[in-house]
C-alpha cells in the first residue's frame, strides 16, 4: 500500500496483500482455532464456555499438544494468502476508481464501500472454500476424527456433498466478509487519511496501532456474521438458516457474539500484523516494480 493520496499499482496490492495474509494467518492461528472451537460448542451449567482465550489455548496445548492448535492451519494460511491478495487488489482497484480526480482522496463512505466490494469478491474467490475446510477440520478433530488430512477432508466433502459442499455457508461468509472488510479496510484507510492530512508520519508503530484499532472495530461490529458462518460450516451439514436458529435456541441474541473475546484477541494482533506487513512489503516492491 502506498500513500492514500496516490493510486496503488495492482501488482503491488496483489503481492503485498498475499504475503501479509499468509504471515498474519500463521501467527494468529491458535486464537482462530480456539474461537472456532467455542463457537461450535454448546454451553451448559455443567460445562460453561470459557471466556479467557489464553486459558483455552493453554488447555488445548496441554491436553492435545501444539499440533492440535494448528489443525486446519494450512487451509487457513493458504486461504489467507488468496483472500488478502484478492482483498487488497479489489479494495485498491475500487478505491482508485472512487478517488476524487483532483485531490486523489476518498470520502469515508467510499472507503467503506470499497471495502465491502472487496469483501464480496474475496468471499467468492477464496474465503468460503478455505473457511469451510478449516472449520470442518477443527470440528472433526473434537469428535469423529474422520479427516486424515486437509486433502482427505476436501475429498470427502466433495464425495458426500458435491463441489457445492465447499461453498456451504457462502451467504454467511459473504455477509461476514463484506462487513468485516468494509470495517477493516475502510476504517484503516479513514484513520490513515486523517493522519496524513495532519502530517502524522506513517511508521511501523503507527501502522500497527492503526491496524489494531481497525481490527477491534471490525470484530465488535461483524461478530454475529462470523458466528453464523462458523455454525453453517461445521462438519455436519447445516444451512445458514439452521445455524441462525441453533444460535438463538441455545443462547438467544447474545449467542451471536459468542467467541468475541477470543476473536478480538486475534484481530487486534492480526490487524496490526496484516497492515504493518502489507505496508512494509509495498515499500520494498514498489521501487523494484517501477524500474
- Whether 2 is in a domain gets the answer no
Q: Determine the Cα–Cα distance for residues 238 and 59; give it in Å rounded to an integer.
A: 28
143-167 as b/e, with b when 16 or more CB fall inside 10 Å?
eeeebeebeebbebbeeeeeeebbb
- pLDDT at position 83 is 83
Grid coordinates in use for 172?
454467511
Contact 264, 272 (CB under 8 A): no
Q: Which CATH number fits the domain that encloses residue 169?
A: 1.50.40.10
* Chain mean pLDDT for the chain: 83
| Residues 88, 16, 176, 220, Cα dihedral to 10° | -110
- Whether 3 is in a domain gets the answer no
Q: Determine the Cα–Cα distance for residues 212 and 184; give it in Å rounded to an integer.
A: 9
150-178: per-residue pLDDT in tens?
A: 889 899 999 988 988 899 888 878 888 88
Residue 117 has pLDDT above 80, yes or no: yes
Residue-range definition of the domain harbouring residue 225: 10-290
Residue 4 has pLDDT above 70, yes or no: no
Residue 15 has pLDDT above 90, yes or no: yes
Beta-carbon count within 10 A of 253 CB: 9
Residue 10 has pLDDT above 60, yes or no: yes
- Whether 255 is in a domain gets the answer yes
- pLDDT at position 14 is 92
Contact 29, 73 (CB under 8 A): yes
> For residue 4, what are the CA distances in angstroms to 68, 108, 192?
41, 12, 7
- Whether 252 is in a domain gets the answer yes
Contact 88, 13 (CB under 8 A): yes
What number is the average pLDDT over the span 108-130?
87
For the chain, give the percent of residues with pLDDT over 90: 15
- pLDDT at position 276 is 93
- pLDDT at position 267 is 80
181-197: per-residue pLDDT in tens?
A: 888 888 998 999 889 88
- pLDDT at position 278 is 92
- Whether 196 is in a domain gets the answer yes
How many domains, the chain?
1
Residue 108 has pLDDT above 60, yes or no: yes
- pLDDT at position 74 is 82
- Whether 4 is in a domain gets the answer no
- pLDDT at position 209 is 93
Ramachandran class of 38: left when φ > 0, alpha when ψ lies in -120 to 50, beta otherwise: alpha
- Whether 260 is in a domain gets the answer yes
What number is the average pLDDT over the span 3-21?
82
- pLDDT at position 206 is 92
- pLDDT at position 237 is 56
What number is the average pLDDT over the span 58-68?
82
- pLDDT at position 179 is 85
211-265: per-residue pLDDT in tens?
A: 999 988 888 888 888 888 778 776 665 677 888 888 888 888 888 887 787 778 7
- Whether 133 is in a domain gets the answer yes
Residue 113 has pLDDT above 70, yes or no: yes
Q: Determine the Cα–Cα distance for residues 259 and 219; give it in Å rounded to an integer.
A: 10
Amino acid at each position: 500500500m502506498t500513500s492514500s493520496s496516490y493510486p496503488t499499482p495492482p501488482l503491488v496490492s496483489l503481492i503485498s496483500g498475499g504475503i501479509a495474509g499468509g504471515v498474519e494467518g500463521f501467527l494468529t492461528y491458535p486464537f482462530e482455532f480456539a474461537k472456532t472451537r467455542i463457537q461450535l460448542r454448546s454451553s451448559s451449567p455443567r460445562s460453561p464456555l470459557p471466556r479467557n482465550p489464553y486459558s483455552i489455548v493453554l488447555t488445548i496445548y496441554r491436553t492435545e499438544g501444539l499440533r492440535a492448535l494448528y489443525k486446519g492451519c494450512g487451509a487457513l494460511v493458504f486461504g489467507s494468502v488468496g483472500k488478502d491478495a484478492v482483498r487488497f487488489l479489489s479494495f485498491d482497484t475500487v478505491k482508485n476508481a472512487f478517488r476524487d480526480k483532483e485531490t486523489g482522496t476518498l470520502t469515508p463512505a467510499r472507503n467503506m464501500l470499497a471495502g465491502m466490494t472487496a469483501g464480496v469478491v474475496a468471499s467468492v474467490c477464496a474465503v468460503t472454500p478455505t473457511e469451510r475446510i478449516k472449520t470442518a477440520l477443527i470440528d472433526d478433530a473434537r469428535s469423529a476424527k474422520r479427516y486424515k488430512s486437509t486433502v482427505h477432508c476436501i475429498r470427502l466433502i466433495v464425495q458426500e456433498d458435491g463441489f457445492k459442499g465447499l461453498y456451504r455457508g457462502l451467504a454467511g461468509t459473504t455477509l461476514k466478509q463484506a462487513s468485516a472488510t468494509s470495517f477493516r479496510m475502510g476504517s484503516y484507510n479513514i484513520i490513515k487519511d486523517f493522519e496524513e492530512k495532519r502530517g502524522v508520519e506513517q511508521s511501523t508503530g503507527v501502522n500497527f496501532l492503526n491496524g489494531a484499532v481497525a481490527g477491534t472495530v471490525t470484530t465488535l461490529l461483524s461478530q454475529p456474521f462470523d458466528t453464523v458462518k462458523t455454525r453453517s460450516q461445521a462438519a455436519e451439514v447445516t444451512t445458514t438458516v439452521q445455524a441462525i436458529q441453533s444460535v438463538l435456541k441455545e443462547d438467544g441474541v447474545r449467542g451471536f457474539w459468542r467467541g468475541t473475546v477470543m476473536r478480538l484477541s486475534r484481530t487486534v494482533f492480526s490487524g496490526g500484523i496484516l497492515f504493518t506487513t502489507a505496508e512494509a512489503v509495498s515499500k520494498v516492491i514498489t521501487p523494484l516494480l517501477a524500474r
